[in-house]
């Protein structure tokens, strides 16, 4: 088992006088696992903060799109109104020109 641990992290094994691996330094394993757990925990918290921020951004963009759509509808209505007024004005002018 010590040889397999050495492949992952050579600092977690003890060697004999000849430099050959003979045991796992279990006290070091606990410290390493705690350190890795803390790193992953911080990473998870950062990802959760990023997700929360992205959700907030998406919600704001959805609200902005609703406002944009409402503004666009209002402008389309105003364009139709002006177009109708222009058409009515043009018809009135044609009527006046046609009936001298």
**Residues in Cβ contact with 67 at an 8 Å cutoff, skipping those fewer than 6 apart:** none
**pLDDT tens digits in sequence order for the chain, 100 residues long:** 888 988 988 889 999 999 999 999 998 989 989 999 999 999 999 999 999 999 999 999 999 999 999 999 999 999 999 999 999 999 888 777 666 6
pTM: 0.59
Q: What residue ranges in 13-80 does DSSP mark as E strands?
A: 13-15, 21-24
Residue 92 has what pLDDT?
A: 84
């Amino acid at each position: 088992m010590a040889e397999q641990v050495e492949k992952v992290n050579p600092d977690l094994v003890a060697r004999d006088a000849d430099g050959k691996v003979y045991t796992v330094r279990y006290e070091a394993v606990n410290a390493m696992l705690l350190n890795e757990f803390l790193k992953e925990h911080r990473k998870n918290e950062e990802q959760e903060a990023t997700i929360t921020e992205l959700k907030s951004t998406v919600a704001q963009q959805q609200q902005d799109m609703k406002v944009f759509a409402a503004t666009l509808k209002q402008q389309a209505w105003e364009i139709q109104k002006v177009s109708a007024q222009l058409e009515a004005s043009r018809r009135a002018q044609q009527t006046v020109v046609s009936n001298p």
